[in-house]
Each structure stands twice: as structure tokens, then as C-alpha cells.
Structure 1
Amino acid sequence: MKSSSLRAARLLRTSALGVSLAVVAVSAPAFAQDAADTAADDGNSDIVVTAQGRAQRLADVPVAISAVNAETLQNSGANDIRQLNQVAPSLLVSSTGSEANGSARIRGIGTVGDNPGLESSVPVFIDGVYRSRSGIGLNELGEIDRVEVQRGPQGTLGGRNSSAGLISIYSKKPSFTFGATGEVTYGNYDFWRLGGSVTGPLGDTLAARIDGVWVKRDGFYRDTTNNTDVNDRNRYFLRGQLLFEPTDALSIRLIADYTYRDEKCCAATYIDNSVNPYIGDLNNPSTPLTPLQPNGNNIINVLRDLGQPLSALNQGYGRAISVSPGRSFAGETKDYGFSGQIDYDFGGATLTSITGYRQYRSSQASDTDYGSVDILYRAPSDDAYRQFHTFTQELRLNGEAFDGKLDWLIGGFYANEKLTVRDNLRFGNQYGRFATCRLISGGGLAGLYSPTSPSCIIPGVGPATITGAFGAAAPAILGALTALDGINDRGSTNDRYFQNGTNWALFTHNIIHITDKLDLTLGARYTNDKKKFSATFGNDNTGCTTVQGLVGGLTSVPALAAVTQGLIGLACQGNSTAELNGVSIRDKRSEDEWTGTAILSYKPIDDLLLYASFARGYKAGGFNLDRSALKPPLVTFASVGGAQALVGNLQFDPEKVDSYELGAKYSTGPFSLGLSLFRSDFRNFQLNTFNGTVFLVQNINGCKADLGGGDRDTSAATGACAADNVSWGVRAEGVEIEASLVPARNFRMAAGLTYANTSYRNNLVGTRLGAPLDPALRKLPGDNLSNAPELVATGSVTWTPELGSSGLTGLVYIDGRMTSDYNTGSDLFPQKEQDGYALFNARVGIRGRDEKWGIEVWAQNLFNKQYAQVAFNSPFQAGTTAAPFVDPQYPGGRQIFSQFLAEPRTYGVTLRGKF
């Protein structure tokens, strides 16, 4: 954690800049406007949203919501939800090791990590259909009508429950007037994007629309070992629609879409002290190997001696990546589905039915250690993927009663999600030597270090020395070192995880018009969520069972415990063991939850809305789809009753939130201003983090009693809390300001400012029963959540001047997003801190009469700001903590860190046509 003085100084500096951006949008534009599909340049058109299940003017909706229209999306260059970051200050979308599980955060809250067992805190809906994980929204979106970003828990409407907010994307409907659009874009990195649409009538009551996008681009990273680029683009998207309106009362809309991606993703680079000063001299290898030297870093020496170029460890923001020969980041994604929406007006009530079926399948190979030494990998394979089959059905009936005093809505929602994950994660061809060298180099036996020799020990001298050090246990230890040295290209052959989830809910949402100016909104929802889980493992790592057989009985001997535990830990990392080969496990869970909302809103004048609200939100519990969570690797499965006896360790509890908000909206047409103050308290916050060895999925709660620092140390035995003292563990509180101004017909300014203190409680526990926090999370208490900057300022300026009397118009557009410091790692290690930064996009162009044609020059990340999306512990690349191998200068081990970089500057030219 940063010192309080340093954090205060940086916050003061960025706060001053943020206020300047928000107040003086024209001099330093940022962006977070409330726009909509009907907004015009004069600013007098009503903004219409459907956030409450009905079409309403944005200014009349007493909830925090940002709505963005098609023109704004086009100007900002937004093609997927990641680029909405420039559109709403409270939103942050990022992707890490796989775009299949990109993460969206609102007010600093989101689902962290790359585990498909966790549902999204900020789900994505496209045309009213729930998408199983928010990362699915990283596809191309085609022609979009508008996007609505709702902030805060959605515990009543919105299809599936969400604990932090949701993103609703609405595509353009078919039109009964013929029209067509086309777009050609070329940019740096040999970027090509072709897009187009055709719409028109097929009769008096039937209209159709087809949208298509094709994208190709070179990668942002260079893999010189395998002579290829990584993080490239090669994808296409198709969507067809039919709109049937036989009468004024009935509308039927059918949509089918298909997305295909064949891309290499996602590479990472090492962090050095030029990127983050907290790294210090970690990446400065000592020569010769001297563990007692204060600046020594033996893990760097091991990597160097096994083939890792040291230049990669000190390249700053360079994008030359380290990859083992023959390893790949190749991936293939197929996403398709069908939906149908029926709206029928009975006269006194309107029925809406939305039916959807989606199938999503993504395979992703990786050099999972992100270095040149072949430690860990996933091979390209049709048998390694994650796949969702999702069916959803929503019904809503809404109308008026008591002479318009009541706007009522009742409804139901059903979802069935079948999730399949197949994995082939394996230790690489150099893992055994890497593991033994990691042990030998760590401390007391460093003089035996010989990376070119079996077991990484000097022949003759080494075995004799070990015999002298360990006496009668030496043969077992030497045998275990030999077995560990032989663990190469071993691990999962075909791990299969299956989850069948059923979710259904009944809800009601009612607006009571107490007077012409005073409304009371009451909503309630009952949700039932069930999940059935099973898994079958395939594994050929016999080295784990061999090591356990040789030294497992010595782990309780005090003088040998650290050594033998270190050997077993490295041989059986992540429960990769042949003992699981052919083993199946299964489990199930069920939840029933009540959620809802209450809002009191008041309009003292037509242009001003004041409101106060309470909402209870919920996100379902589930299963950690990772065998590493079954048990610590120091004992065999047989000794604890088998894998089935431990299956309960994979479960995590539902996340719950109570949220309070005060807000005001002022709108006069050309000028609008929104203000909201919020506080949300989360219990059982679902956190997924990688500790350098395994993925941890843990609920986070707070303790009302002082734990005396027991939650901030490396002991797993301290920091417990009495169950009746367990309370919320995460709090998000702050203020949001959004404003827009249209001082002239062709000129628009918008600005936004979000201050969100999203932090953990000072005293934390790991479960609702008060069990201690995992030691790997010891940095969490009292600090801000990852990827949760306290201050974000955004804004934009759009100028579309008339050029003479020929109908030509110009376009000058710029937007920006400024963010204060934040930590990008979910365990909040200081080496993962990211300094504050500002991003700007710009677009300049000229358009023909009625925008029949246009040419635009654009740039994203205009000033080529380099920063990290997420930093993480480099897999297995840490110094050992097992005595006598431990370095006394670094008793906790020395971890190397890597990062997923954000996109660099891109620029290009776009030609548009419209008929």
C-alpha cells in the first residue's frame, strides 16, 4: 500500500486536474454525456431510455444511468464495450489473459480474473438478451442505436441479477424505408475494417436489415522466437433481422447473429523499475550466484541460465515478448445466437416477451509462464475451450391503473446456462530443471547449483553434500529431486468441467404518482438459482505421486518439513497429479434471494428531478472451475478421503449488496446536469486472484472487531472473527457529476467527474463464518480495490460546422479520460500500482450533404500513453520459501511480475457512404 502522504499528494494533484476537466470542458475536453438515439445537435430533443422496463425520458428516470447514442459511438470510435471507457467516467472495461473473460467495472466494482465459474458483476445485455459473461461483449457490435450504462445494483429488472450495474446495448432496427451504409477504414498496424448495412421493406408489414463487419490487423506484440505477432485482429460479424408489424398493436422482431475470431491473444511483458519503482532492483541479476548478497535475486539467475534473455526483464514498455519455441497464443472464438422480441398492446396493458438462445465457444492457447523458459503452457487444441449454451426467456406486462396514479409492471425471467470447460494446462519441457534449480539456488545449498546437470546439482559433490546435510533422509530427498527434475511436458491431458445452471425470477416494479410532482417507486424480485457441477480429470504427472511417496512421510519431521514440503509443492503445483487421472467429482448448490428497490422522487419544477433510493442487489454463488482449489498439495487425495470428499472447497457464496443513493437531474434541453451521491456495502464479495501458483476464489467479508493485524500477516491461522461480528467487507461510496451543453446548433460539450472511494474494510475475513483471510490477500485490508481509481474525469467537444452553402459539413471531435492512481492487481501488491494518466481520442473530417459521404482522419490514444491494464505474479517465477533453500535476505521469496499492456496509439482514415 502506498504511504498516506504519497496517496494524498497524488489525489490532490489529480483532483485539481479532474475538477478543471469537468468544469472547463471546452479547454480540456473529457467525456461522459447523457446522449440518446433521439438527441439532436440543438440539444432540445428528449432523451429516451428503457432502464425501468418502459420508455421514459432520461431526465424523468430516478436512477443513475448514462445513455450514449450512435453518433457519439461513431465519433469516439467505439466498436466494442472496452471503448466505452471514454464514454462514461464510472465505467472501466479491461481484458487480460483471455478476451473470453474481459471484466467490466462500475464505481470500482467488477468481477476480477479469468475464471468462467464467476458470473459478471456488470453483465452485458444486447437487444435485451443476457450474455453469459461480460467479455463476450468484446466482439464487434455492428450498427448500434444506443448504449445504456446503469450504475449501482440491479436487483429488480434487467433480466439477470447484477451487483454493480449493467450495460445494455441496442442495435439498429430494420426500417420500412430503404437504406444502406458502407465504411472502409485503414490504419497503422495494417488495420483494415470493412462495415456495411442494408435495410428496407419486404412488404407493407415486414422489414429486414443485414449488418456485417470484417476486421484484420497486425498484433501489438512481436514474438521474435516464433516469428509472429500477438494481439492481432482477424474477425468478422454478421447480423440479420426481421421486423414484422401487422397491426399498430403488434410488433415482432427476430434477430440472428454470428461472430468468428481467429486471433492470437493475449501476451504479457515483464515489469521493471522504469515501469514501477516498487520493483526496485528485483530484475537486476547478481553474478556470480550469491544468495547472501543483498541485491541477489536467484530466480533471475535461474531464468537466465535456462535461456531467458535478460533484456526482456528490463525493457520498460517495449512490446517484444518472451515466448518459448513452439508455444502459441492462437485462439478461435465462435459466438452466435437467435432472439425474438414480441410487443403487444392490449389497450390497457403491454406485453413484452424476449426469447434468446446463445452459444459461445472460445479456445485459447498460451505460453502461460509468459517467458522464454518453457515452464507452463496450453497447447492449441479443439479439446481445450470454454463453451456456454444459454437459453433465456423474459416476460413483462406493464400498464396503468387508478386513473394514471399507478404505473405497474410484473414479470418473470428464466435462464438455463450449460457451461463446459476443457483444459490441457501442462508443465513445459523445462519445468523439472526450472523447479530443481529454483530449490537448489535458494539458500544454503546454492554452492551445489549446476543448471546443466541432473537435478541442478553438481555431480558427485552435490549428492555427498546432501547426504551429509540430511543423513538417513538423503536418499529419499535425492530421489525426490530426480523425480522433480523429470517432470517435463506433464500435467492435464483432458480436464473437463461441466456446470448446468438454472435461474428463474418473479419481479414487480411499480411507480406510484402520489402527486403530480412526487413519485414513489417500489420494486421487488424473488430469485431461485441452482447449479449442478461435475468434473472429470485426465493427468499424466506421475512425478507428483512419486515425490509424495518418497518424502510425504517426512513432512511432519521438524528438521525436514520445509525441504519436503517444498519438493511436494513444486512437484504437485495446482493439484496437477496423476492421482486425479480418471477421477470424477460432482456437487450442486441452490439459492433463494429477495432483492428490490425503493425510490422517492420529486420534481419541484419541470426541469429538475430530485430522488433518494435504496436498492438490494445480488450475484449468485457458484463453483471455482479450477482443480487447484480442491486441497493443498502437501497430502495425497487418498489420505483425505478422495477428491469427492473435498468438492465443497470449490464452492463460493453469493455476493450481496445494499446500496443508497441521492441524486438530482436538471435538464433544459441545451443544458443538462446530473449529480448522484452513492454508498454500497458488499457482503461475501467474490474475489478471484492469482498468487503466482494457483487461482484463489474467496468471499471477502469484514469483521466489526479489531483483528489485531491477524489479517495482514502471512499466517493462515490468525485473523478469525466470531460469526456474529461478520459484516460487509467492501464499501463503494462517492459522487458522480455529468453535464452537457449545446450552446450552438453545431457545437456540443460534455463533461463528467466521478469520485469513488471503493475500498476494503480495515479488518477482513474470508468467509461469512469468519474464517481467516488467505495470506496471499494480506495487502487488502483498508486499501482500495484493484482497478478502482478514486478519481476519473471525462469529457468531449464536438463541432460540426457548415462549410459554405453546398451542404458540406465538417467534423472536429476530441474526447479524453483522466484517471488517478490505482492498483491493477487483485492482491494489491505495490509492484502492481499504476500511476494516473490521461487518454485522448480525436477525429477530424468532412461530410457531404445529408452525410451521404464522409472522410475522417482519426487517432485513438492520441499521445501514445503507455500503461498496464492488469499486472500479475509471473507464474511460478518466485524465490523459494523452503528452508534450507530459502535466501535469508528474502525469507518470503522474491516474486517476478508481469503485465498486460493497454493498446498503443492507433490512427487511420475512414471513408463512409450512405444511401
Structure 2
Amino acid sequence: MKSVIRNSIARGALAVALLGFPTMAAAQQAPTGQDDLAEGGDVNDEQEPDGPGQVDPYTIVVTAQGRTQSLADVPIAVSAVSGELLERSGTTDIRELNQVAPSLLVSSTGNEANGSARIRGIGTVGDNAGLESSVAVFIDGVYRSRSGNALSELGPIDRVEILRGPQGTLGGRNSTAGLINIYTAPPEFDFSGYGAFTYGNYDAMRIEGGINVPIGDTIAARVDGVYFERDGFYNDVTNGTDVNNRDRYLVRAQALFEPTADISFRLVADYSFKDEACCAATFVQTAFAPLARVSPGLDQFTRPEPAAPALTSTSNPIVPILLGLGQDPRALSQDTFNRDIYPTAGRSYQGETEDYGISGELNWTFGTTTLTSITGYREYSNFQGSDTDYTTVDLIYRAPNEFGGARAFETFTQEIRLNGSLFDDRLDWLVGGYYASESLRSQDNLRFGEDYGTFANCRIALAINPALANPSADNCFGPAIAFLDGTIGAPAFGPATPLIIAGINNLAQVRDLGGTGDVYDQQSDNFALFTHNIVHITDTIDLTLGLRYTNETKDFSATFGNDNTFCPANRALLSPLLQVQALAPLAGGLLALSCQGNSTSELDGVSLSDTRDEDEFTGTAVLSWQPNPDLLFYASYSRGYKAGGFNLDRSALSNPVTFNVNALDPTSLQFEEETVDAYELGFKYSTRPLSISVAAFRQEFTNFQLNTFNGSVFLVQNVNACGADLNGADRDASATTGACSPDDVEPGVVAEGIEIETTISPIPDLVGTFGITYANTTYQDNLIGNDTGAPLDPALRLLPGDNLSNAPEFTATSSLTWTPPIGNSGMSGLFFVNARVSDDYNTGSDLLFGKEQNAFILVNGRVGLVGPDRAWSVELWANNVFDVDYTQVAFNTPFVAPQQTYSAYLAEPRTYGVTVRGRF
């Protein structure tokens, strides 16, 4: 087996050795004195449940199948993480779940609203609000429109369930990769309260508190609040501020009404707000990506030679241009993980996020039937300014206002389920319906900066003759233009020379122009009918059958605002030259740079609209055998679905060179629904001291939805494979080669592997967990675009046969919790440590060389003293204990031609502090 696998195993062994115990991030609640119970699954213990219908207190309880069940009895791959483990691991939002779930990876890029969750290497890059998440997120049973909408403080958590593989046969929203169910701590019929204060480095301060009040015998109320502030991890040297700071708060109020033993109604209202600057990036340096750039003359997607100029060396032709336009040289010489940044003066990353909603859940049992109704209404809005090129040179930016990369969701959801049993409990049945109405508005004001025209002309000069480039001149040619216009020698382009020079001078004037307010509206209406039934064939053999019908309708409209008049001016000048073979490349380059991303006043005031309608059947079949209460075997098939939609980006309307405002087709913005066929074999063993679950899986994705940045614009494309050999046509530079017969289209992405999760608790105050995931998540050979057999976009020609981005083959997590009693004082100690080991992976969705992230290990730790009855505690903690440097995503520096320089969004450095808790 290849060396990377051997190295990964070695690193995993090292992580376990660091912990000193064989552990994993499965569902468990570590013991603390007499009140904490190790949840390791079904328990061989003489303690009986408290009464009829009660669950053994040592059992992990989940609702992954729409019913209350023991985790050990659920024949699907699911990780359940207790609130206790989340608290000790320092988890306050879904990104930090990475540390406790090996198959999960959550990352964010240029805006936290773009956060993306991946399970088994499958996820949706979140830079386009039109794409829904492959991993759905639910909080208290209510769907969050995108994964990034849940990147906020969570407050007190009861538990988190992470379901792996396609979901949707039960309730809620469809998803193709999995879902994250977050259950917040509910009201209780005991008077109690708590408070916690944390102070850490970067002047971090977190205050959390809440109170639970019973109101009579049938009503309980609870209020929780969190406030968190922290300085940013990046130092903006140019503007004298910091970026990636925290300034946020959350308030959640709940009421629980239980008039009888058969009726329960829970009402939840929450409001959260963030006023933060996010998200900065640094230049990728040679030490991080030594072979990131190709040598001149080589195909830009060929693996570079060792002699290629360094990314930020002046031997790289674009670097002197940047320096000549005012780029701070320190940004080009410092280490990749030096967090000093040098953006354009006056540009800001400031933004605001507001998220609020109300939901109600009714559970009513009558006879052997239970009715569950979950109703939710939510509003979410975000805007974020940015120096979008991440350089001192003013190339492109978003102003921090209501149009600055803004998005807003208004969502209403209603789910109704009925479940019960028939035929002397031989059939455990469930039927239900789901409705969701989502109004999405995406707005943008992306504009060219003051230096854009000069910089763009410098790219033209480099293409003609690098000796002509003079960034101190407005048009980057200055006196050298004489070599073109014939003042010195013959006109460079014959009779067309005056047109070329006029085009150059027009391009030079593209500065502080562009979007004045593009508005995209999308109305989505989704309804589904589903059934999920468990047939108890024998006392030990079950057959689970589920079926779901989904109808999705999306209505799209857009209105554009733009003041770039030099785009149509150059279109009028240069379009005739596109028919001249010798001049077409130069004329096309000038026109493309003048109208980059279809930023043109020709669109000003133009409106478009379109609609799409989908119908899809999905389902599941599971055969399981439980020979004894501690052991379960299962085999399953499931089909998942994620809706298609619209690319909310004008750049996808047309090639800017051939743009015709009178012939725009809004259907060019559509992308197709994504489907998956998934197969799984697994077993679970669960006793008091030891539990283990193993799942082997294969998932085949058709019309996989991919969003990638090519250095100029975002591309949204479905990815499939062709059964016939394309003879490398999917790897060339042509957008017209590599077509496939529609009858020969096959799944383009396949994920297969194995997951192992264990929990061990040899004594009551010691609990360890360990999990490892091997997921070979790859693009197939002979890739094509959508399922009509269209060729793959050439920007994606590194994809065939390679792993997906942010999809490490090996990942392991582990934890150790020790809570020893201290004499007879009633106090106890706390020692907690967890680790995540990740194999190598490429962080760029186009898989360009130089975006690879080497393997790394993250370790978090916490030690403390806990008072009698857990009335108080003092804890010292550290996250990323060894201050490991790694990137979330590396990308082509915008408008700095592909393969010239890269930038990267860095992950968080080491943080540490002290937390004091009290409760009554």
C-alpha cells in the first residue's frame, strides 16, 4: 500500500500514544462523580430503568430514525456526541465538531456564511448561496438553510447526532452526504441556574449563563444567553486593525408544556447577532508549496518542474507588476502562516450577521400512536465587506454595506409524523409529510478597484512582451506604446493597431467601476411525503423499508446594476477583430479583462427570470440481525437527492467575449439535481465497558454539484463520468472536446471506505473514545459535465482520477476523560484530552498543485477541579495545543492569473485560557 497510508497509520498511532489510551470521538458522556454516566451503548448492568417506558440511564438515546431508540439498536452509521463531551472539547459551534467526529470536516472561506460541512469527503463548497448543502444541519428539528447559517454560538447542548450517508427518507430536508442534528438543552421541571466565565489569549472573553424555572406542575421555562468577544487572528498592518475577530451574542428562550403524560409541547425562540470582520487570507509561500507554479511555456496544469520560479519571487513575472503598483513587499516575503496582512488602504472586511427564529414541537401519544409536529420560522441575513483580491494593490473589492456579498433567507418549515405499531408489535410504522418555503435574496456590489485597469493592461503587456510592462504608467505601456503604434518601426498589428491601442487605453480606465447592486431572488417550495417502516421478521431479524417522494419548485429572478461603460466601449471596438485569426487572442484578452465576470453597464437595469421543477423518489432498505442485545449486524441500500437550482452569479450568464445582452438565456444559470446510490455494511457491539461500531460504505454520485474558483470567477458545474474512454479529452485545454453519449453517462464521484468507532470505560471515572475513517472519495476517470454528456470545463481538468478537495483518505479522532474523586471531599478532578489526525489532502476544489495540505495532528486539552455535586469548577484549557499551522482552503489569488500566486485562508492558531463555572 502506498506510503501515505503507512505514514497516516504511524501518525494515528502517535496520536493515540499522546493520549495514553485507546479512545475515539463516538457518543459518550464521561462520568463525573455519581451524577455523570458513561454512555457507551446498551449496558450489562443490573440497574433497572426508573419505570415503564424509561430508557436505561447508561444507554445512548438518539432519534436518528424519527423514534426514540438506543444508539446500539439503530442500523445506520450515526455518531452521537453528548453535551458533556462537547463542553469539555470546547465545542461552541459546528466547526469544532471536527475534533470529535472523524468523518466530518467543517471549514469556512471568504465569509463565514459560506461555511461548508463534509461527511466522508463529500460536501458543497459554499461560496454561492444558490447551492444547497450536501450535509443538512438541523437545530431542534428545524432545518438551517445552509451549513454556514449554523456557524454561530450554539449555547448549552443536550447532544449532537451526525448521520453519515444520504438522508431524507424520514423527515426534514433531503441531503446526499449526511446531516447534523443538534439538540439544545431543553427546559426541566427543577429550579436551576448556571453561569460560566472564560478568559483567554487574544483577549477572548466569553460569558454564558442561564436559568431554568418550573411554572407549576405542567410548565417549565428556560432562558440561556452567550456573549463572546475576541481579537482577530490576523493583524491588518495597512489599516491598523485586526481581522477574523469575534463579537457575537446569542439569547435563547424556551417553554415546555406537559399537561398530561401523553402530551408535550416545546416552544423555542432564539436571536443571535455577529458584528465581525472576516475573512482574511495570506500569500502561499514556497515553503508551503515548493512546486506550486509551472515553468514558462509549460501547460499551466502540468506538474511544475523544480526550476519553476517561486510563487512570490520577482522571477515570477506578475510579482514585479504587483510591487510596481504598491504591493507591500513584506506580504511576499513572510511565511505563509505569518498572520500580518497588507490589504488595500481603506478596504474593510467588516460585516454583520443576524439570525433569529421561533419553533414549536408537539408530541402527542394516543394509544399506540404518536403524533409529532415541528413548525419553524427563521430569518437569516449577512453582509460582508472585503478586499477581495487580498493584496495591497486595489484590484477588486466589496463595500461593507447591505449589498456587500449579502444574502438573506426567510424560511418556513412544517413537518408532521405519525408513528406506532401494528400486528402485535411486528410492524413499527411511520408516515409523514414535510413542507418548506424558502425565500432567498443574494446581493452583490463587487467592483473593480483603482488599480485594476493598469494591472489588467500589465497582463496584456506581459503576454505581448514582458519588456513593455511599466506599472507606473496608467495603461502599463507608457512611452513603450510607441513600439505598438508605429512611432518606432511599423505598427505592431497592422491596420488594427489603432483599435488595439484604443482598447488598451479603455481598459486602463476600468477603475472604481462595476457592480452597483446586483439582486438575485429565489423562491423555493418543497414538499415531501414519506414512510419509514421496520418489520420485525423474527425476534432478531428486522427489515426496514423507507420511501420518499419530493417535489421541488424554484422561481428565480435577477436585476443587475452596473456602471462599467468601458466594457461595451471595448466590445464595439474589438468585436470585429475576433474574426481575425491572428488578432483574436489579443482582442479577446482585452475584451475579457474589460468585462471580467460580465461586469458591464450593458446589464444595468436588466432583469431575468426563470423557473425549474423537480420530482424525485428516494428510499432505503435495511436488513438487520441482532442475535443478542449487545450485537447488531446490518446491510443497507439508500438513494439520496439534493435539489438543483440556479447559479446566483452573473459571470455564468455568458462568456464575456461573446456576451450579447439581447440574447441572454437564464437557463444557462441552472444546474441539475444531485443524486446518490449508497451501499453500507456494518455491525455494532455495545456493553457497559466497551462499545464498537464498524461501517463499510460505497456511495456513487450522479450530477455531483461542484463550485470552484478559477482565479477570475466561480464555476458551478455538475460532474459525471463517461463509460467510454475519452482518450484524455477531459484533461485538455479545450471546452469543446470530451463529449459523451447521454446513454453512456455514469456517476462521476465515488466515495468508499470504512469507519470504526469505539468507546471504552473500564472503571466509572475513566472513559476513552477512538474513531478512524478511511474514505477514498474520488472523481472517476473520463469526466464530463452534466448528464447530457457535455464536456467538462477545462478549469477542472486535474479532477479525473483524483481525490476530492478537503477529503483526506485517513482521519482519526480520540479522547480520554478521567474524573477521579478527591478523597472524601465530594470534589473530583478533571483531565480531558482529544486529538484529530488528518491525512494529506488538497484544499482547492480545482486540485491545482500547491494547494495541498500536509498531514497534521490537532490536540485539545482541559484540566480542572470540580466541586461537590458539580456546584462549581475551575478549568484550564487549550485548543490546538501544539500550535499547528494548517490551511482551510488555498485558492488562486483573484485576478492574479491562474498558477501565478496562491492565497490561503488559515485555520485558527493555539488558543488557551481559564473557565470558571457555577451552578445551582
Deviations 1:748-802 (A, max 9, x none): 1110010000000011001101111000000000000000000011101100011
Cα separation, 2, equivalents of 1:216 and 1:708:
56
Equivalence map 1:151-166=2 (5 Å): 151-166=164-179
Equivalence map 1:136-215=2 (5 Å): 136-215=149-228
Q: How far apart are residue 28 of structure 1 and its match? A: 6.1
Q: How far apart are residue 67 of structure 1 and its match? A: 0.2
Equivalence map 1:23-62=2 (5 Å): 27=20, 31-35=24-28, 40-41=37-38, 43=40, 44=43, 45-62=58-75
Equivalence map 1:290-439=2 (5 Å): 296-316=315-335, 317-384=337-404, 385-439=406-460
Q: Which residue of 2 aligns with 1:907?
A: 912
Cα separation, 2, equivalents of 1:665 and 1:181:
37
Q: How far apart are residue 895 of structure 1 and its match? A: 2.4
Cα separation, 2, equivalents of 1:600 and 1:343:
29
Q: How far apart are residue 851 of structure 1 and its match? A: 0.8
Q: Which amino acid aligns with 1:258?
A: Y
Q: Which residue of 2 aligns with 1:800?
A: 819
Q: Alignment partner for residue 704 of structure 2, among 685, 689, 697? A: 685
Cα separation, 2, equivalents of 1:217 and 1:777:
39
Deviations 1:398-439 (A, max 9, x none): 000000000000000000000001110000011111111121
Matched, 1:862 2:881: yes
Q: Which residue of 1 aligns with 2:854?
A: 835
Asked if the contact 1:779/1:827 (under 8 Å) is kept, the reply is: yes
Q: How far apart are residue 295 of structure 1 and its match? A: 8.3
Asked if the contact 2:553/2:614 (under 8 Å) is kept, the reply is: yes
- Tell me the C-alpha RMSD between the 2 structures: 1.8
Matched, 1:707 2:689: no
Asked if the contact 1:702/1:726 (under 8 Å) is kept, the reply is: yes
Q: Which residue of 2 aligns with 1:13?
A: 7
Cα separation, 2, equivalents of 1:164 and 1:868:
23
Matched, 1:536 2:559: yes
Q: How far apart are residue 42 of structure 1 and its match? A: 7.8
Q: Which residue of 2 aligns with 1:286?
A: none
Cα separation, 2, equivalents of 1:128 and 1:600:
27
Q: Which residue of 2 aligns with 1:887?
A: none
Change beyond 3 A, Cα 1:302–1:196? same
Change beyond 3 A, Cα 1:194–1:245? same
Deviations 1:287-340 (A, max 9, x none): xxx99xx98422111101001123212322100112101100000000000000
Q: How far apart are residue 280 of structure 1 and its match? A: 5.7
Q: How far apart are residue 449 of structure 1 and its match? A: 2.2
Q: Which residue of 2 aligns with 1:884?
A: none
Q: Which residue of 2 aligns with 1:96?
A: 109
Deviations 1:619-659 (A, max 9, x none): 00000000000000112324xx432xx21110000000000
Cα separation, 2, equivalents of 1:282 and 1:807:
69
Q: Which amino acid aligns with 1:143?
A: P
Q: How far apart are residue 734 of structure 1 and its match? A: 0.3
Cα separation, 2, equivalents of 1:414 and 1:12:
48
Cα separation, 2, equivalents of 1:230 and 1:894:
27
Q: How far apart are residue 466 of structure 1 and its match? A: 8.9
Cα separation, 2, equivalents of 1:234 and 1:761:
44
Cα separation, 1, equivalents of 2:857 and 2:62:
30
Q: How far apart are residue 383 of structure 1 and its match? A: 3.5
Asked if the contact 1:273/1:280 (under 8 Å) is kept, the reply is: no
Matched, 1:116 2:109: no
Secondary structure in 1 matching 2:129:
coil
Change beyond 3 A, Cα 1:548–1:775? same
Asked if the contact 2:644/2:674 (under 8 Å) is kept, the reply is: yes
Work out the number of aligned pairs and report it.
Answer: 881
Q: Which residue of 2 aligns with 1:68?
A: 81
Cα separation, 1, equivalents of 2:887 and 2:171:
32
Q: How far apart are residue 19 of structure 1 and its match? A: 5.6
Deviations 1:323-367 (A, max 9, x none): 101100000000000000011111120000000000000010000
Deviations 1:216-270 (A, max 9, x none): 0000001011110000000000000010111111111100000000000000001
Cα separation, 2, equivalents of 1:129 and 1:835:
37
Change beyond 3 A, Cα 1:39–1:150? farther
Change beyond 3 A, Cα 1:542–1:529? same
Q: Which amino acid aligns with 1:412?
A: G
Cα separation, 2, equivalents of 1:323 and 1:310:
12
Q: Which residue of 2 aligns with 1:890?
A: none
Asked if the contact 2:24/2:758 (under 8 Å) is kept, the reply is: no
Secondary structure in 1 matching 2:370:
strand
Q: Which residue of 1 aligns with 2:652?
A: 629
Q: How far apart are residue 475 of structure 1 and its match? A: 0.9
TM-score, normalised to structure 2's length?
0.94
Bigger shift: residues 151-160 or 782-791: 151-160
Change beyond 3 A, Cα 1:295–1:911? closer
Cα separation, 2, equivalents of 1:40 and 1:894:
54
Secondary structure in 2 matching 1:441:
helix
Cα separation, 2, equivalents of 1:61 and 1:115:
35
Q: Which residue of 2 aligns with 1:556?
A: 579
Asked if the contact 1:845/1:854 (under 8 Å) is kept, the reply is: yes
Q: Which residue of 2 aligns with 1:889?
A: none
Secondary structure in 2 matching 1:123:
strand
Q: Alignment partner for residue 616 of structure 1, among 608, 616, 639? A: 639
Secondary structure in 2 matching 1:850:
helix
Cα separation, 2, equivalents of 1:282 and 1:496:
41
Secondary structure in 2 matching 1:456:
coil
Q: Which residue of 1 aligns with 2:289?
A: 276
Q: How far apart are residue 20 of structure 1 and its match? A: 6.5
Q: Which residue of 1 aligns with 2:504?
A: 481
Q: Alignment partner for residue 469 of structure 1, among 492, 498, 507? A: 492
Secondary structure in 1 matching 2:376:
strand
Asked if the contact 2:208/2:227 (under 8 Å) is kept, the reply is: yes
Asked if the contact 2:24/2:759 (under 8 Å) is kept, the reply is: no
Asked if the contact 1:208/1:240 (under 8 Å) is kept, the reply is: yes
Deviations 1:869-896 (A, max 9, x none): 0011111001xxxxxxxxxxxxxx6421
Asked if the contact 2:19/2:834 (under 8 Å) is kept, the reply is: no
Matched, 1:522 2:558: no
Asked if the contact 1:548/1:635 (under 8 Å) is kept, the reply is: no
Asked if the contact 1:299/1:894 (under 8 Å) is kept, the reply is: no
Deviations 1:814-859 (A, max 9, x none): 0000011000000001110110000000000001001100000000
Q: How far apart are residue 281 of structure 1 and its match? A: 9.0
Secondary structure in 2 matching 1:468:
coil
Asked if the contact 1:273/1:281 (under 8 Å) is kept, the reply is: no
Cα separation, 2, equivalents of 1:913 and 1:182:
5
Cα separation, 2, equivalents of 1:395 and 1:466:
80
Cα separation, 2, equivalents of 1:536 and 1:35:
51
Secondary structure in 2 matching 1:161:
coil
TM-score, normalised to structure 1's length?
0.94
Cα separation, 1, equivalents of 2:27 and 2:711:
42
Secondary structure in 1 matching 2:96:
helix
Matched, 1:457 2:439: no
Change beyond 3 A, Cα 1:415–1:39? farther
Unaligned runs of 5+ in 1: 284-289, 879-892
Unaligned runs of 5+ in 2: 44-57, 297-308
Q: Which amino acid aligns with 2:76?
A: V
Q: Alignment partner for residue 510 of structure 1, among 516, 529, 533? A: 533
Q: Which amino acid aligns with 1:454?
A: D
